[in-house]
Amino acid sequence: MIERYRTVRKSGEKEIVIKKSRFIGHIKPVESEDDANAFIEDIRKKHWNATHNCFAYMIGERDEIQKQSDDGEPSGTAGKPILEVIRNQGLKNVAIVVTRYFGGIMLGAGGLIRAYADGAVAAIESGEAITRVLHRQIFVELEYTWLGKVENELRSREVRMGETSFTDKVMLECLPLDAEVQEFMSWMVDLTQGQSLITEGEQLYFIEGE
């Protein structure tokens, strides 16, 4: 799994008007091509009477799935600029549809490229770009006598924390960066003088800064 990537927090849409044409940018975070295609189809059904529903999506750790469509606009004036905006903003696992309702004024090829790019930017603004960072669950079981010291050190180190359970011993769910797991576990062994039981859990993504 990739250590960090930019995507959007949520689905969203935002409308802009350029020379009387309405451009509505729609965006959704997606995990697969099926997700992207279902989203595109939903927008097409919602805006069945639009002049065009142009789209692009980029999916995968290495951006291995990419697709675009001009949906009847001149070749290269709609889907490509949408895809370029996704690429230039460093986003992954997103699908964007820009819906156009023609306003009666021709924009020309250059005008269309700018308009669809602006529609994609508007969509991204509505979806709120975020960075997702890969962490890993590390469960630390220890005696109560260690709890105060370990919690203080974890706070000092600014380690993300999950749940803490209390039975005959304490179980801490620590969530260090996945890239720093081995260093973290060695540090915990030293901190507790080898008197803790440490086990690895799942890899999980969290939003950076939250």
Which CATH number fits the domain that encloses residue 179? 3.30.70.240
- State residue 149's pLDDT score: 97
Domain count, the chain: 2
Q: What single DSSP character describes residue 177? A: B
Which of 127, 158, 192 delimits the end of a domain?
127
- pLDDT tier, 84 (very low <50, low <70, confident <90, very high otherwise): very high
Domain identity same for 137 and 161: yes
- Report the CATH number at residue 89: 3.30.230.30
Spatial distance between the Cα atoms of 96 and 117, rounded to a whole number of angstroms: 11
Mean pLDDT for the chain overall: 98
Average pLDDT, integer, range 46-73 = 98
- State residue 172's pLDDT score: 98
Domain identity same for 82 and 184: no
Q: How far, CA to CA in Å, does 159 sit from each of 13, 89, 118, 156, 191?
A: 35, 29, 39, 8, 14
- State residue 166's pLDDT score: 97
Spatial distance between the Cα atoms of 135 and 153, rounded to a whole number of angstroms: 19
Average pLDDT, integer, range 4-19 = 98
- pLDDT tier, 134 (very low <50, low <70, confident <90, very high otherwise): very high
Angle at 202 between CA 154 and CA 149, to 5 degrees: 15
- State residue 117's pLDDT score: 99
Spatial distance between the Cα atoms of 169 and 115, rounded to a whole number of angstroms: 61
pTM: 0.90
Domain identity same for 176 and 101: no
Spatial distance between the Cα atoms of 119 and 113, rounded to a whole number of angstroms: 10
Domain that holds residue 151: 132-207
Q: How far, CA to CA in Å, does 184 sit from each of 43, 68, 109, 139, 189?
A: 46, 43, 54, 12, 9
Domain identity same for 136 and 115: no
- State residue 74's pLDDT score: 98
- pLDDT tier, 72 (very low <50, low <70, confident <90, very high otherwise): very high
Give percent of the chain above pLDDT 90: 100
What's the order of all strands across the beta sheet hosting 52-59? 12-18, 21-29, 94-101, 52-59, 65-69
Residue in the block written with tokens 């890969």: 134
- State residue 110's pLDDT score: 98
Domain identity same for 115 and 38: yes
Query: What is the DSSP secondary-structure string of 40-64?
Result: HHHHHHHTTTSSEEEEEEEESTT--
